Chains A and B, each alone.
Chain A
Amino acid sequence: MKGIGGLAALSMSGATIAEAEDVLNDSVPSDPHTLDTYRSIVDAIVPRTPQLESELGPEHVPGGLDVELEKFLVWDFNHFQEIRAEMVTEKGLLDGPSDAEMPLEMFESVLDLTNLGGLFGPDSPLDAVLNLADLDLLDLDLGLDDDALEEALTFGPVERYDISFADDVASSSGPAAFELLVETANETTHQVVQNYPYAPAFTLVFDIVAAEFIARGENEDAIKRDRSKFPAGGTFVQLSPEDRLRCLWTIVDGGAIDRLDDLLSPLVPDVGILKYVVMAVNGLHGFGYYTEWSGLGETKTNNPTERSLSTPAGEVQSRQQSGYPGPADGYAANWRHAVDGGFADPDVEELNLPSNLEGDDVIEGIGGGT
């Protein structure tokens, strides 16, 4: 899904409801940076494997990108959390927010990368992130060379990322829609989506985490700056496939989100969920690639009631690779009972349980020999 041509010049303030509805119906709203970032993860986890052809057969060559698995990841993250307008509040109301209300600013964010290097704009992408976080480089205490971080960080062709509520939440209720605008030098992607658009927000996070990963020298393979495979990606796609995964793992097990909390906070409503997100980034390859999802043709990102298979469940690419024939009504198979006559089950009066019910000793058992 590329930028929507007819809306290329649309400004945030100029969006009409009708135009907003048009883009709301877009099944996988995505800007190129988002798609290419997820494509780089799909390629790391389920790559094309021509090297397996001679050993396992030609059906084992294609990978996740051949079935556009990145769309499954984007759909899932963009349907991850509904934000209710009636639960959002403007700050500064006289009576203050209640415990249940969420401040509006938590969900709105503008990362402005235009005019890089100049008096009227940020010097660098890191500078733009610092502006967004209202921080100075001196406020950061990352224990690394700030210049290295600045050198490493890029969001690729992204010049402006702007996320805001599509409606006036103070006067509306129900599931809130968000407007998302991603501008690059050549195209503008404008979407209105119901639910918080996490998919693009996470990809900016991954670029920042990747920049820190590189600045710390944790990458094991050389970085590749030409980005020829994923041209709209940022720092993250410059990493080798294995380094991309090592980089994601620093979110779970490397303290990355604790160190980068101040930088990341303006980009996602709750930095704490990022460990869960890394679980999902990996796991969605199982829920997407190794299921029948790719057989759903044009309906693959529809609601469940509107999906239909264009390729039989047992014949999709991944099922040819696994040999699973797809769901069946039953199987003719041999079976037996292991306990002749069924389990013994005395009445409670005749239970006669042993007097010592402490269970087998866990300490003695360690080692697995018992």
Chain B
Amino acid sequence: MNDPDVVIVGAGADGPATAWKLAHDHGIDVLLLEGGPWHGNEQWPKPHADSGGTISTDPDDLDGKLLDEQFTHREADANDPTYGYLRVGPADHSRAPWFRNLHQNAFIWQVGAVGGTSLHYFSNHPRGYPTAFNDQPHWPIDYEELVPYYQLNEELTSTQQAPMTAKEEVFIEGADALYPLIESKNVTETGWRPQANAVEVPGRETATGEPLDADYEGSFSYDDGFRGDTLVGDHFQGSSTPVDAPVRDKARKSSNVGYVPRALDTNKSSEQGNVALRPNAYVTDIQTKEGAGTLEATGVTFRDSWSGQSQTVTADTVVLAGGCIETPRLWLNAGLPDDGWVGKGLTTHWFDWIVGVYDDETVADINPEVEHMDPYVGQNSAVRFDKPGVGGMEDIGMSPGLVSYADYLFSQAGYSFDTEVDPSEPWDTRGYVVGEELKRRMSNYKQTKALLILTDDLPRQSNGVSLDNTFSDEHGPVPKVKWEPHPDDDAKRDELSRIAANIHKEAGADHVHRCDWPPLLLHMQSSMRMGEVLDENAEAKNVNRLFVADHSAMANGVGGPNPTNSGQALALRTADKIAERYF
């Protein structure tokens, strides 16, 4: 793979989808470079301790049991961005993560590894709201144009309606009393619905041939015959269930599961292109030459994070898929033209988090067969609410480390012992919860659930990524990140928070708490957006043969729904456009 047709920078959620489409449908040879490690690959048996192999092209290198060993499902091991195995940093875990300069009470939550931040997600795959495409002038393409790509992506990622377990029934108790059920994937009206999730159906086949329900007594091991989702809420820890399953048969289709095996499969067909994936390869520069009146990309330079050696590869086309922070950082460090929107216009769904604590009797009335909601049983987020034009929300159950952080230890409102609550608002407390009260609330963990607010925040030039003038790492100046809400975004978030509190109360919550989160940069979108930096094919306006195929290419936050399905669908379309234009 010394002479690929296309080099893709980043093997996160979108890079592998692009690679698969280019090779599978167009016979194009692709080299994928990923700055972070590769888990579950025999070439790298100890990815955080030893440099391992160099490159992998063989789907037989993938090893699901190795993935089980590496993804321990332990919370501190996985989730802490400094301490955990899922972080943005060199694979070598004796080293610190890669630094981003953030001058805010805010948190950036991403993963640098094969699979990217899709290793660390709830696998929610709703489509963007049609209104976000059709009514905002900065979207250069129609919703209808993306629908076939959504359909393809949903087929490849096993996207379907999520299962309703005890905690979801409590949400439905509140939501269904106030709003209609939505039965379409194309959401144009307000209502609630099960999530569209990239997780296989629970217990598609079980070890005993009996259905997966409360009476099931069989094993959850793939070796014993179990197929599909096992109803464990550990998706944020990497989720390698069913245990023992080959990588491609893990139930949750993060891109290392849903796309990477498929992309490597193309190497076994003489009709299709070849795909090679090299982890531990951080791209530091984009090579260009002067073309006819404009710049033209000719390749990239990358640095091996173990050896420190740099190498340049040439290609006919370069695709940036490093994510909303690293893609503009690379662009700026490469000295490519900036017309004022490179790195800008970042959206993040201006989240909030509304917590309901329920008493045992209320939950038992809704779910006569179980005593608790047990937020760790079932998928992390299996039911949602949509309000196009404003945003949405989703019902969340997680393990207690994440719950204590998200419910009580992440706020912009100060400490609840000093924070007054407006009596006309539908929540009882607001802000950080600490001390005796924190321990009291966490003692109710099994009867606690939160609703995540996802606001339709719009792109603004003042928000985004620039090069830091204080710190540099081995790749050059580090990214400096800034995101602040606009008053209109605050108004939408307040409205959704009130709706969430009302749903909790309608369902019978004993206590409702509004966290009033500061910016959480998790659903990052639109920092290199189409309509500004990119044209309608996602090719750079100022550099030919340079495309962006990650969530930064999205022109906005698609109205509030989780962005993975939209980012991947757009990346599949971009692959077709690359093939049409240059091959």
Contacts and interface: CB of A to CB of B under 8 A. Distances in A.
A51 B75 CA distance: 29
A318 to B, nearest CB: 7
A305 B188 contact: no
A138 interface: no
A92 interface: no
A52 interface: yes
Contact of A276 (B104, B165, B418): B104
A359 interface: yes
Interface stretch (A129-137, A183-191, A360-368): A360-368
Contacts of B436: 47, 49, 51-52
Given A276-B104, A305-B46, A329-B232, A287 B518 contact: no
Contact of B104 (A275, A358, A367): A275
Contacts of B160: 342
Contacts of B80: 76, 284, 287-288
Nearest to B147: A348
A324 B469 contact: no
B376 A273 contact: no
Interface in B380-419: 383, 387-390, 399-406, 408-410, 412, 414-415, 417-418
B434 interface: yes
A110 interface: no
Interface in B62-102: 72-77, 79-80, 82-85, 93-97, 99, 101-102
A368 B409 contact: no
B214 interface: yes
A250 to B, nearest CB: 10
A249 B419 CA distance: 12
A296 to B, nearest CB: 8
A37 to B, nearest CB: 17
Contacts of B114: none
Interface size class of B (residues with CB under 8 A): 35 or more
A79 B101 contact: no
A128 B9 CA distance: 50
A174 B308 CA distance: 9
Contacts of A175: 95-96
Given A304-B83, A323-B446, A368-B501, A335 B165 contact: yes
A79 B94 CA distance: 9
B185 A252 contact: no
Contacts of A288: 76, 80
A278 B84 CA distance: 20
Given A322-B445, A339-B181, A270 B94 contact: no
Contact of A322 (B442, B471, B494): B442
Nearest to B474: A84
B510 to A, nearest CB: 16
A96 interface: no
Contacts of B389: 358-362
A19 B388 CA distance: 63
A206 interface: no
Contacts of B59: none
17 contacts: A52-B439, A72-B76, A175-B95, A194-B95, A249-B415, A253-B412, A279-B105, A282-B409, A325-B376, A327-B237, A332-B214, A335-B212, A338-B193, A357-B388, A362-B492, A365-B387, A368-B498
Interface of A: 44-47, 49, 51-52, 56, 60, 63, 72, 75-76, 79-82, 84, 86-87, 99-102, 106, 173-175, 194-195, 241-242, 245-246, 249, 252-253, 269-270, 272-273, 275-276, 278-279, 282-293, 303-305, 307, 309, 313, 318-319, 321-325, 327-339, 342-345, 348, 351, 353-354, 357-363, 365-370
Q: Ordered nearest first, which 7 A-B pairs have the shortest CB separation? A: A359-B389, A368-B498, A286-B405, A330-B230, A330-B220, A291-B401, A272-B103
Given A60-B443, A333-B374, A337-B161, 17 more contacts: A56-B443, A76-B82, A80-B99, A82-B95, A194-B94, A245-B432, A246-B418, A252-B105, A282-B410, A305-B49, A329-B230, A330-B232, A332-B216, A338-B383, A339-B193, A353-B134, A359-B387
